Amino acid sequence: MENLAYVFFSAALINNFVLAYFVGLCPFFGVSNRVSTAIRMGGAVVFVMTLTSLAVSFLNAYVLPAAPYLRLISYIVVIASLVQIVEITIKKVSPTLFRQLGVFLPLITTNCAILYLALFQHARGYDFLEGLFFALGAGAGFTLALFLMASLRERAELADVPSAARSMGLAMIIAASLSMAFMGFAGLFSS
């Protein structure tokens, strides 16, 4: 139980996917204009990550022992088809959310954060339950990073930013500052 909590918080705060590993930067910069959209995007990522983790556990247990050379390909194919299903479902259930997420929902598929999750889960030898908590933690950390980023960018929208640093330039600076703030969590609970 303690181990599961560590896996969760490690993925969420200490080794935050976006702010410590710098993966998944594409949606991090792309969908962090509005807090409401950012939270929905975070929810979508949590969902996809959980599905990915389940799929990876299944593949690791039943398919890949027989064919280890298929690891990358099978991860990508399975994750891509899963996200496709999610996309079709969202399009049907909530067209508004579908339009807000726009190109970024299909992009979650090719998002390196998802592949990182799959590869890490394998490399660290997480079992089914640990993998699940890892995925939830990584998703929560991603959502937290996206939410902080969006709320800071919303505030900075009102600021008199020099023209050289408008929008994306300032977003990069904010992301770097956030990343430095997250450095304080390094090594937490590791002893």
Binding interface with another protein (CB under 8 A): 147-148, 151-152, 154-156, 158-162, 165, 169-170, 173-174, 176-178, 180-191
Query: In the bound complex, what is the minimum distance in angstroms from residue 9's beta carbon to another protein?
Result: 10
Q: Return the number of the residue (124 or 155) whose C-beta is nearest another protein.
A: 155
Residue 116 · residue 91 · CB < 8 Å: no
Q: Return the number of the residue (79 or 170) whose C-beta is nearest another protein.
A: 170
Q: Return the number of the residue (58 or 189) whose C-beta is nearest another protein.
A: 189
Amino acid at position 113, single letter = A
Query: In the bound complex, what is the minimum distance in angstroms from residue 183's beta carbon to another protein?
Result: 6
Q: Return the number of the residue (102 or 169) whose C-beta is nearest another protein.
A: 169
121 CB-near residues (< 8 Å, 6+ apart): 53, 56, 57, 60, 131, 134, 135
Query: In the bound complex, what is the minimum distance in angstroms from residue 99's beta carbon to another protein?
Result: 25
The secondary structure of 124-140 as a DSSP string is: TT--HHHHHHHHHHHHH
The token duo for 141 is 């950390």
Query: In the bound complex, what is the minimum distance in angstroms from residue 130's beta carbon to another protein?
Result: 21
H/E run at residue 78: helix 71-93
